[in-house]
Structure 1
Amino acid sequence: MSRTDTGEKPPQGDRLDREEIAADPAARGVVYQTLATAFEHPTEELHAGLLAGQVKNGMQDALEATALDVSVPEFAPAESYEELSARYNRLFALGSAVVTDRTDGSVDKEGPAVSLYESSHRDDATWQTINVDLARAYEHYGLSVDTEERDHHDNLGLQLEFAGYLARRVALGEADAGAARRDFLDRHLTVFAGSLRDSLNDTDVAGVYADLATLLEQFVVADHADLADRYDGPSSTDRSEVSF
């Protein structure tokens, strides 16, 4: 996970035989990590990959290695890298300020048009409840937010990286990580992804990010449904509750 730190390094020279890695969960991990990268501030490399179809083809190949029925949209931005970067900033990074009283300079400040933080998309839980729950989930696996890029635990990128991390653990034979991913999606990402998709579809400036959010929501829902079938025990909490 690029923005978390386990504090451990793998032993030098350790290599895994391909036959020891389950292809389906490994491919799901690739999709989660690719989506995490896609919702970061765009790089020129990402822009070039979107234009050339490499991002689409890569995710399509990964999804075809899974049991999930999820289609990948084109999401090729008809804009330059600078325009894509400006679109990202307009959607996710820049807030707005409106002078409400010119006599004393009062300003009403708002956040970005669309939030990449789960707590902004939920009315059923507080910021503290959501972030404490996520912090406990990360810490349970020895993970922590990278101090050099410190962010709130409910950031979309961190959650996608965590889901991908759990998928990779399943690929290495750890079944408990599959049940943990089911519960994590149940409490967090299924709700978050649906609200994010709705928020981006409600704005006419989302561009490629509307397609990415649609793919995200469809993939998370399909992954969650499949995990619920595979691990048919009850979820640890009700879907609307977020206490770990």
Structure 2
Amino acid sequence: MNADETRGADLAELSNAITTDVGARGGVYALAAKTFDQPSEAFYQELATGRIDDFFAGLVDQSGLDVEPPDATVDEDRQTVAARFNDLFVVGYSEVVDKTDGTVDNYGPPVSLYESDYRPEVSWNDVNLDLARAYEYFGCQVNQETRRNHDHVRLQLEFMGYLCRREATVDPDVAAARLDFHDRHLRVVTEGIADMLGNEPGTGLYGRLADFLDRFTAADVEDLAARREDESP
């Protein structure tokens, strides 16, 4: 799985090539993965001009899920959007807990993009090992240049997008694997991020995207579960 930047033309080509509802869901997940990162100048222009908003709306409409698409347009400048991303997801902070001796506690960013931070009952190693096995089983590898752990939400979204494309084109039985991946991983991290952002002020684009992803993944799970129940003897 490679999280390299995709240009606007590539996004349009992706959208135009989709012919099934499952393929459209894959497009939503792939596009969502690109939004949860520092916006490059090119991607920022796609956000500011409303093209990303249009892509989301078109893909959601094709997905067959009754979910309102996100408002993915920004009117702030790129530096402001990038600073908001850093403040929410990247930059930690320190707090003096004892002024008498200067004891300081260091904390991570307000909102984590890593699933393991929302799984206190499971070790970091177990979460990431389970994800590594899932990626490897379907022939996917994490791009080592990105230096992200396997439980990062972008990697999980890219993987779900890949599973959707595989289900749509060559292997309908992947639907069962998608439901399992939602239950074990993706729903955990998307719901956790949405909840944490709901407690933060001024989340802007990222709060809207997280709320959408929480609703979209929940609807995808509901649809997959209903389909499995209908197919049961």
Q: Are 1:39 and 2:36 matched, yes or no?
A: yes
After superposition, what is the alpha-carbon deviation per residue over 1:74-119, rounded to whole angstroms, capped at 9, x for unaligned? 2322311001000000000000023445676543110001000011
> Secondary structure, in 3 states, of the residue corresponding to 1:203?
coil
State how 1:95-114 maps to structure 2 within 5 Å.
95-101=92-98, 106-114=103-111
State how 1:1-244 maps to structure 2 within 5 Å.
1-3=1-3, 23-101=20-98, 106-232=103-229
Deviation at 1:193, TM superposition (A): 1.2
> Secondary structure, in 3 states, of the residue corresponding to 2:94?
strand
> Aligned letter for 2:2?
S
2:52–2:73 CA contact under 8 A, matched in 1: no
CA distance in 2, matches of 1:226, 1:135: 26
CA distance in 1, matches of 2:175, 2:69: 24
- Call closer, same or farther: CA 1:115–1:23 in 2, change over 3 Å: same
> Secondary structure, in 3 states, of the residue corresponding to 1:145?
coil
Q: Which residue does the alignment assign to 1:7? A: none
CA distance in 2, matches of 1:124, 1:46: 37
CA distance in 1, matches of 2:108, 2:59: 35
2:113–2:189 CA contact under 8 A, matched in 1: no
2:60–2:67 CA contact under 8 A, matched in 1: yes
CA distance in 2, matches of 1:129, 1:117: 13
- Which structure is higher in helix share? 2
2:25–2:164 CA contact under 8 A, matched in 1: yes
> Secondary structure, in 3 states, of the residue corresponding to 1:182?
helix
Q: Which residue does the alignment assign to 2:9? A: none
Instruction: Structure 2: state its 5+ residue gaps.
Output: 5-15
- Across the aligned residues of Structure 1 and Structure 2, the Cα RMSD in angstroms comes to 2.2
> Aligned letter for 1:224?
V
Q: Which residue does the alignment assign to 2:13? A: none
Instruction: Structure 1: state its 5+ residue gaps.
Output: 5-17, 235-244
Q: TM-score, normalised by structure 2?
A: 0.87
CA distance in 1, matches of 2:3, 2:174: 20
After superposition, what is the alpha-carbon deviation per residue over 1:187-238, rounded to whole angstroms, capped at 9, x for unaligned? 111122112111111110211111000111111111111111223399xxxx
Aligned residues: 220
CA distance in 2, matches of 1:195, 1:80: 28
Deviation at 1:178, TM superposition (A): 1.4
